[in-house]
Amino acid sequence: MTERIKSLDFLRGLTIIFMILFHILIFWINNKIGLFENIIIYLGLIGAPFYLLISGISLNCFINSKIEDEIPKIEVYLDVLKRAVFIFLISTFLKFLFGHFLNLKFSFLYWSIFQVIAVAMILFSFILFLGKWKLISYLFLIIFIFIINHLIIINDLIIFSFLIYGSFPFIPWVNFLILGLIIGAMLDNFKKEQYQRMLYIFFGIGIITISLWSLLLSKIYYLKINLFFHSFAVFLILFSLCYFVFDIRKISFKLDKILIRWGKLSFSIYYIHFAMIAAGVILFPLIIENYYSLNLSFYYYLIIFLIFLLSIEIFLIIWEKFNYFMGLEWLMNKLSKKSLFS
């Protein structure tokens, strides 16, 4: 499975929208906005798990495409390593930069979503070379990470505390990326003509899991297990539907093209939107007196959100004329000597 999966790019673009929705709410709108606030918070909560799941599937596809091109495994891993180091250094620097303006706590490993992705790429990519043992290895790793997370918290193991603190603590958030690697490995077991059957299986697993979650797991107090199974179930359902629409039926419309482009540029857009939010945090109080005491309704929030999206889209349209020069994807693909959207 070497061709680019449109449904992954679509879902990646959609998760960026979810994160923007959430970040505008918590950084710009400092009060209740009514009925839709809980929906926005929910979308924000599943946005990061979805992004990590997609990153795991994409990493699996990237490595397999290299292996199918008969590139030596050590060269493939070195390519992954270069990308991972780049992602880690850039995300660490930008987290420090924007964290200063957004009053976010910062330390070298106060984990961000891209730091989790980068370190996971370094630590776990080699498992993709284990052949038939990789699925078992990933399942064991997920269980092991949840156990380690529990032991660190229960026993107050200070020496390992850096693993469980941050916006997205490496333990257990990395399990979402590992779960994405499992889904990617399962995709490899199907031939192209069997993909529709694969979707029925994924959709069925998603429905069964969400049913079990609503009956049993939603009552579990341990939030991380709760979120893990819920996000997994919802993602499988959405991924199955999107894959059927965009990759099997090849259905296309204007909105999906925009979201697919956003998905391909998600690394850059993630930090572009933080730059815009940071600028707003600085400028809004200067423009609007007593900004944080305003009683903004959902309709005002919606207008702000749409203007925000439109501003990013206009920027991308202009930037496209320069082939997204110096964007994070542009720089990262220079490391692999790839075309931008291959």
Q: 230-271 pLDDT, tens per residue?
A: 899 999 999 999 999 999 888 888 788 999 999 999 999 999
**Residue 87 is assigned to a structural domain of this protein:** yes
Residue 342 inside a domain? The answer is no
In a domain, 1, yes or no: no
341 within a domain of the structure (yes/no): no
Q: Which helix (H) or strand (E) holds 167?
A: none
Q: In this structure, is residue 143 part of a structural domain?
A: yes
Cβ neighbours for 339, distance < 8 A, ≥ 6 positions apart: 333
Q: What is the DSSP letter of 272?
A: H
**Do the beta carbons of residue 121 and residue 59 sit within 8 Å?**
yes
For residues 45 and 170, give the distance between their C-alpha atoms in angstroms, rounded to a whole number.
Answer: 16
Q: Which of 40-49, 86-95, 295-304 has the lowest mean pLDDT?
A: 295-304
Q: What is the pLDDT of residue 234?
A: 94
Does the pTM exceed 0.85? yes
The better pLDDT of the pair 179, 277 is held by 179
In the chain, the number of structural domains is: 1
Q: What does the alpha-carbon distance between residue 56 and residue 235 come to, in Å, rounded to a whole number? A: 13
Please state whether the peptide bond connecting residue 172 to the residue before it is cis, i.e. omega within 30 degrees of 0.
yes
In angstroms, rounded to a whole number, what is the distance separating the alpha carbons of residues 24 and 277? 7
- The residues, ordered by sequence, that sit 6+ positions from 151 with a Cβ below 8 Å of its Cβ are 157
What is the C-alpha to C-alpha distance for residues 243 and 196, in angstroms, rounded to an integer? 9
Helices (H), the chain: 6-27, 37-68, 73-102, 113-124, 134-155, 170-188, 195-215, 223-242, 254-264, 266-287, 298-320, 328-336
Q: Is residue 289 part of a domain?
A: yes
Instruction: Write out the residue range of the structural domain in which residue 147 sits.
Output: 6-336
With contact defined as beta carbons under 8 Å apart, do 83 and 335 qualify?
yes
Taking CA 51 as the corner, what is the angle to CA 63 and CA 191, rounded to the nearest 5 degrees?
45
99, pLDDT greater than 70: no
Q: Is 72 helix (H, G, I), strand (E, B) or coil?
A: coil
**Domain membership flag for residue 246:** yes
Query: Of the given ranges (53-67, 112-126, 133-147, 149-163), which has the lowest mean pLDDT?
Result: 149-163
Answer yes or no: are the C-beta atoms of 179 and 232 closer than 8 Å.
Answer: yes
The pair of three-digit structure tokens given for residue 225, joined into one six-digit string: 């297990």
pLDDT at 158: 72
Alpha carbon distance 88, 340 (integer Å): 20
